[in-house]
Amino acid sequence: MKLSEYISKKEFEFGLPQGDTIIDLEFTEIEETTFKTNEGEVKPTWKLVLKSGETYNVPKSVMAAIKASSEKGANRVRVTRTGTQLATRYTVVGV
């Protein structure tokens, strides 16, 4: 199959964009999924669908930080993504 035909029939989901993303814990939908690394290892990931309809995949570290913020009373979090690929870093702060 040609690439142009393949991509016209598929939906691709992306992770969080560079910079800040505000996630409202009350209105965000979540689905647990998995992804396969380049080495063939299967890892968990979570698909978040924001109230605006934007969809992002986040790793376990982000989910753990969101949970910690929630346990401290936050009902919204700001996730800041810096870097790309192996140099990607996330900071999660309750707001």
Mind listing the pLDDT tens digit for each residue in 58-82?
999 999 999 999 999 999 999 999 9
Sheet of 76-82, strands arranged across: 19-24, 76-82, 89-94
Q: Which residue has the tokens 């969080």?
A: 16
Full-model pTM: 0.80
pLDDT of residue 49: 93
Strand pairing partners for 89? 82
What are 14-64's pLDDT values in tens digits?
788 899 999 999 999 999 998 887 788 898 999 999 999 999 999 999 999
Calpha distance 70→11 (Å, rounded): 31
